[in-house]
Amino acid sequence: MIKNAGTLIIAGWLSATLMTSSPTIADQTPTSQPDPTLISLLKQTIEQSDSFEDKFDAEVWLFSKSSQLERYIPDNETRLNLLRRIHRAATRADLSPEVVLAVIQIESRFDPYALSYAGAQGLMQVMPFWKNEIGHPEDNLIDVETNLRYGCTILKFYLDKEEGHLSYALARYNGSYGKSWYPEKVMVAWDYWR
């Protein structure tokens, strides 16, 4: 019964959120019908989401994060696909998907082709030396799945090493251990994603 009530709430939210007449959020004014293409994409993404306890959890999380991520990724299909992948990679690594979203926001602003001056690559800005460390020099760190797998695994390792202290783990992840500027930036972004 509660899930049905929640579904009704989400359906109402969807109706209000997904009705579009222009491509930008600032210019959106509701029309009489939700965008059928977006609704279809959302349903498909929910069906493919294997890291959620149930479809209701997938629906709620994907809907809320999709609206937050739209400012970085305007294309609905790309955005929903990335959210599903982030949730799966974070969950497999036993990390909060919202923390991973915050790290990606700070590291690459959701640009899978990002390359830092130091050579870090992809969404989570993974350094290429990790490929040799684990014996997979052929891995492509620009590939979203590969980058998320590396980044989440590395962050989880540091989180365990720091006994759950996220600030210290983030500083290690960024290579700025002993400094607070990077963890503070990620924590501010994390507030946005929670």
- Active-site residue, 107 included: yes
122: left (phi over 0), alpha (psi -120 to 50) or beta: left
What is the phi/psi pair of residue 32, to 5°? -75, -25
Catalytic residue among 107, 145, 162, 184: 107
Which alpha helices (DSSP H) does the chain contain, by range?
A: 2-18, 36-48, 55-69, 76-92, 97-108, 129-133, 144-161, 166-174, 181-193
Burial of 65 from C-beta contacts in 10 A (0-12 / 13-18 / 19+): buried
**What are the structure tokens assigned to 72, written together?**
């970085």
CA separation for the pair 21, 57 (Å, rounded): 29
Among the listed residues 97, 96, 67, the one whose alpha carbon sits nearest the alpha carbon of residue 80: 67
Residues designated as active site: 107
